[in-house]
Amino acid sequence: MSDRAWCRLRIGRALPYDSLREAVAEHLGQDLPPDPMDIPKGDDAYRHGFELVDGFLTLEEPDVTGGWFEEFEQWLCQNGIAFDRVNAPYPGVWSDETCSFRPGMDSPYSTISDVHNAHYYVEVCQVRGAARTAATIDELLAWLDSHHPEIPPLEPVKFA
């Protein structure tokens, strides 16, 4: 039985690049380029294990212990650096999970799927971006319907 699975971590916030580069090398054994302008952009995470997309540094690993970057995520929390993590399930060991941390939180907030691993998610940064541009709740719901149709609407409660 494996104790490893796919994991993707998105990091955001103003921070000293040298500190981040050092932490990535220490905790993940990966070398970010000396100049942040040289971080690959676009869909290069599979080739390099990291990329810069829409202002977020994304780290992706197909085979990470426990399905999360434990020591590195602790370092991010200790340094008040925001992140969102998504990891894949490993049947019989853990379910898929989404995890978010923002400065000011005591600890990261995690949500785990049900036993069938039929969990749909929308990353926090996507919802916040859509909420900033939506003028009404109906516009936000229309965005959710068009970008994430796999997530069914909540049905009203019916008492029998």
CA atoms within 13 A on the CB side of 119: 20
- Write 122-130 long-range contacts (CB < 8 A, 24+): 122/147, 122/148, 122/151, 123/10, 123/84, 123/86, 123/98, 124/84, 124/100, 125/10, 125/12, 125/56, 125/84
Measured CA angle at 96 (ends 91, 101), to 5 deg: 150
The pLDDT of residue 1 is 45
- SS3 state of residue 33: coil
Asked whether 8 and 87 are in contact (CB, 8 A), the reply is: yes
Q: Which residue has the higher pLDDT, 67 or 60?
A: 60
Distance from C-alpha of 130 to C-alpha of 149, rounded to nearest angstrom: 15
Kind and range of the H or E run holding 129: helix 124-133
The fraction of the chain above a pLDDT of 90, given in percent, is 22
CATH architecture of residue range(s) 4-114: 2-Layer Sandwich (3.30)
- At 108-159, the pLDDT tens digits run 888 776 544 555 667 777 888 899 999 998 999 899 889 888 777 767 666 6
Please check the confidence at residue 93 and state whether its pLDDT lies above 80: no
What are the sequence ranges of the domains in the chain?
4-114, 120-150
- SS3 state of residue 140: helix
Please check the confidence at residue 98 and state whether its pLDDT lies above 60: yes
Phi and psi at 4, nearest 5°, equal -125, 150
CB neighbourhood size of 108 (10 A): 17
